[in-house]
Structure 1
Amino acid sequence: MRAVLFKEFATRVTESPNAVAVACGTEQIGYAALDRASDAVATVLLTEGYGAGSVVGTAMARGVGLIVGILGIWKAGAAMLPIRSRGVDAAGMENRTDADVDLVLDEPLVRAYVALGVRVPLAPVEPGDAAYVRRTYNSDGRSKAVALDHRRIAGRVRVTAEGYRLGAADGLLHLTSGDSHTFFWEVFASLVTGGRFVFDAPRAAQDPVGTIDSVLRHQVTVLRVVPDALRQLVAQPSFGSCTSLRLLFIMGGPVDAELRRRVLAELNVELVCPRG
């Protein structure tokens, strides 16, 4: 795997240009279309001076537009910072501090950039360049911005892809209960291996029927879920119809023997639970 993720993504574009890359509800985008759209965003960012050394915030709900924006930011050579915006379903994202960002991308702005359709040669991006800015907190409670470079992000994505054994035939469903870091590892683990990344509806833990609908509609094969959400899923009469699932990765706590028995009675699926 290359140390700059969008370069590995470009290989998947060449291999499977028409395959679905990202899906959210009824909206989806293929690899070639995602590549073109993110190139358009990168072109406008570079034209307006937001390239290497810039930090561009993403104030968007999790969906196709967000992935277009992130790839566009990286292709321009800038670093991205996920920020919380009023009215945006952005669980786990950072609170905005104006000093942190040079520009904020929202969905209307991304759509406008994509509509221009302009594509020019993009800036060279190296593994050591900043890719993702996040906020951490000192012992005194004060926050500071920390930049992760492309090499570090690629290493973490590689761990996720290998842990889930992802390939081009896989569809990975992301539940919004996860933190922002896990979100990035999962979405790009899918994109660099040629699979489908699927966003579930907001508050999926309270909507097990919607989650099952996403599994069925997008033929999801891998699902990371917490035990409480898994209990709600198993309680649904349609849970046994989720035969595309091959791996349930359980986070946030152990799975008791009864829950494990109920899952395996319904599906021929691998259960992986790091906490037992």
Structure 2
Amino acid sequence: MIVPSLPFTRAAARPDAPALRDDRLELDNAGFAAAVAAAAVRLQAAGVGRGDVVGLLLPNRAELIVGLFAAWRLGAAVTPINPVLTPVEVEHQVRDADVDVLITVDGTAPIDGVRPIAADDLGIGAPAPADPPPAAELGPDDLALLIYTAGTTGKPKGVMISHGNIDAMTASFIEHLDFGPDEHSLLILPLFHANGVVLGTLTPLRAGGQATIVGRFKADALFPAVEKYRPTYFSAVPAIYAMLSALPDDVEPDTSSLRLVVCGAAPMPAELIAKFENRYGVVLVEGYGLSETTTASTINPVAGPRKPGTVGRVLPGQQIRIADSDGNDVPAGATGEVLIAGPVVMQGYLNRPEDTAKTLVDGWLRTGDVGRFDEDGYLVLVDRVKDMIIRGGENIYPKEIEAALYENPDVFEAAVVARPHPVLGEVPIAYVSLNPNATTNTASLLAELPEKLSRYKIPVEVILLEEIPKNPVGKIDKPTLRRRPETAG
């Protein structure tokens, strides 16, 4: 496997070349390898070994990437954890992934039974250890990442990404995007997502380039970072491009270092693509993928022709079919479910054999997305089979919110749907009907949610109805709710 050994192969070839930085520290290749070796010593002392899972409960900072490579050196997998999750949500991921050691900012763990390590105690900046742990022999099927994605059952599930998946995905990006040793990523997406880890960090490192990690995204701080660090690309979601396009007219940054920018996570209006490209003079390529495909399966070509309104061509090494409900290919140009195959497709969902069997069928990943290929072989996404809401690039499944609402005994029925938003793309709103003699109200229902859900999952509005509409077979009729004026915004 190529990627796990990158800190050491890079140090051997070009020890003084830049590798990784954030706003606190800067590592060349030799320093990066020394940091990974020191962190591996610390993790090994904490009992981490082959087959274990290390949790990374950190904001965007260099220690997260160092910890990832250190765990891989020992043969362990990692699961990055969103630092804004509630303690209940963190505990679910930690328990589900069977995490024993958790790297945190302050060296404390929010749950019992887990050994914490402070990020500052990983040994970054210290001399390289004289006798670092030997590199574990890793094969393509060995588990590398557990990326947690919202589940239709209301609980996030762990997407099992192997080292073979990562090697295939990074190679595919390098070929399609023509990355080389001069590539420099400005990482603005969160590192608990596959995009931030794989496209934002591992791919430029494999290409021989470098990655600069910034903290939480702020629209007025991005272009100053571009001018300071001179990256060649960054990856973002439509909401970020909308905010950048809405900056005051007197914001005229020097974007000459940027060769391209990438957009994913949600469909981006063609008008917004044109607005961003025309204002800032940067090529924007839109793509499509899932955590289950280790980041992406299609991207528009950098050199063109680029087709706004599509998510581009199939990436090297992957296959996409458009199928009917029985899994049969539809006629050319017809609409159906998007199915994906290739070495980037996940191993499955951790501890969820039934979900895995429903999603991976005869070697094909059933995405739940509806699309078609145009006459030039570009993928056009038409709709989503699933009810997932994408708020500023964050995936939200309504059932998780509905489950939280149902914990209030006054709630009889709850249904969550998406409301369009000009910047975030979509936001959740909840329709609720109450039991007889209920005493709760919408304010009380909303006030209960911050203890159960991350802030981005909380509905922007709770609307009380005497009765939630049903379809002829008695199921909640979400299409009718989506047509209500409160939903349309």
TM-score scaled to structure 2, two decimals? 0.49
SS of the residue corresponding to residue 151 of structure 1 reads helix
Shift of 1:196: 1.8
Shift of 1:145: 4.2
SS of the residue corresponding to residue 105 of structure 1 reads strand
Matches within 5 A, 1:32-51: 32-51=30-49
Tell me which amino acid in the other structure corresponds to 1:74.
W
Matches within 5 A, 1:7-18: 7-18=5-16
Whether 2:215 is the aligned partner of 1:195: answer: no
Tell me which amino acid in the other structure corresponds to 1:193.
A
Shift of 1:68: 1.1
What is the aligned partner in structure 1 of residue 174 from structure 2?
161
Tell me which amino acid in the other structure corresponds to 2:240.
A
Whether 2:70 is the aligned partner of 1:72: answer: yes
| Equivalent position to 2:160, from 131, 136, 147 | 147
CA distances 1:178-197 after superposition (whole Å, capped 9, x unpaired): 86111111210011112121
Contact 1:201 / 1:211 at 8 angstroms: preserved in 2?
A: no
SS of the residue corresponding to residue 167 of structure 1 reads coil
| Equivalent position to 1:125, from 133, 137, 155 | 137
Whether 2:235 is the aligned partner of 1:224: answer: yes
**In structure 2, how many angstroms separate the alpha carbons of the residues matched to 1:138 and 1:208?**
30
What is the aligned partner in structure 1 of residue 259 from structure 2?
246
Q: Which moved more, 1:41-50 or 1:113-122?
A: 113-122
**In structure 1, how many angstroms separate the alpha carbons of the residues matched to 2:273 and 2:153?**
42
**In structure 2, how many angstroms separate the alpha carbons of the residues matched to 1:18 and 1:94?**
41
Shift of 1:257: 4.2
Q: For residues 165 and 37 of structure 1, do their structure 2 counterparts lie closer, same or farther at Cα, with a shift above 3 Å needed?
A: same
Q: Which moved more, 1:139-148 or 1:16-25?
A: 139-148
SS of the residue corresponding to residue 101 of structure 1 reads coil
| Equivalent position to 1:96, from 86, 93, 97 | 93
Tell me which amino acid in the other structure corresponds to 2:134.
L
Tell me which amino acid in the other structure corresponds to 2:121.
A
Of the two, which has the highest radius of gyration? 2
Contact 1:25 / 1:214 at 8 angstroms: preserved in 2?
A: no
Q: Which moved more, 1:251-260 or 1:208-217?
A: 251-260
Q: For residues 105 and 225 of structure 1, do their structure 2 counterparts lie closer, same or farther at Cα, with a shift above 3 Å needed?
A: closer
| Equivalent position to 1:214, from 210, 216, 225 | 225
Contact 2:143 / 2:162 at 8 angstroms: preserved in 1?
A: yes
Contact 1:84 / 1:94 at 8 angstroms: preserved in 2?
A: no
Q: How many residues align?
A: 267
Whether 2:57 is the aligned partner of 1:56: answer: no
Shift of 1:106: 2.1
Coordinate RMSD, CA, aligned: 3.0
CA distances 1:142-174 after superposition (whole Å, capped 9, x unpaired): 555453321122212222333332222121112
Shift of 1:265: 5.4
Contact 2:23 / 2:213 at 8 angstroms: preserved in 1?
A: yes
**In structure 2, how many angstroms separate the alpha carbons of the residues matched to 1:60 and 1:270?**
32
Shift of 1:87: 8.6
**In structure 2, how many angstroms separate the alpha carbons of the residues matched to 1:263 and 1:145?**
36
Q: For residues 25 and 239 of structure 1, do their structure 2 counterparts lie closer, same or farther at Cα, with a shift above 3 Å needed?
A: farther
Q: For residues 200 and 124 of structure 1, do their structure 2 counterparts lie closer, same or farther at Cα, with a shift above 3 Å needed?
A: closer
Tell me which amino acid in the other structure corresponds to 1:197.
A
Which protein has greater RCO, CA pairs closer than 8 Å, 6+ apart? 1
SS of the residue corresponding to residue 37 of structure 2 reads helix
TM-score scaled to structure 1, two decimals? 0.82
Matches within 5 A, 1:106-125: 106-107=104-105, 109-114=118-123, 115=126, 117-118=128-129, 119-125=131-137
Whether 2:172 is the aligned partner of 1:174: answer: no
Contact 2:48 / 2:74 at 8 angstroms: preserved in 1?
A: yes
**In structure 1, how many angstroms separate the alpha carbons of the residues matched to 2:143 and 2:16?**
30
Tell me which amino acid in the other structure corresponds to 2:207.
T
Q: Which moved more, 1:101-110 or 1:66-75?
A: 101-110
**In structure 2, how many angstroms separate the alpha carbons of the residues matched to 1:157 and 1:79?**
18
SS of the residue corresponding to residue 215 of structure 2 reads coil
Tell me which amino acid in the other structure corresponds to 2:94.
T
Matches within 5 A, 1:22-33: 22-25=20-23, 27-33=25-31
**In structure 1, how many angstroms separate the alpha carbons of the residues matched to 2:32 and 2:176?**
25
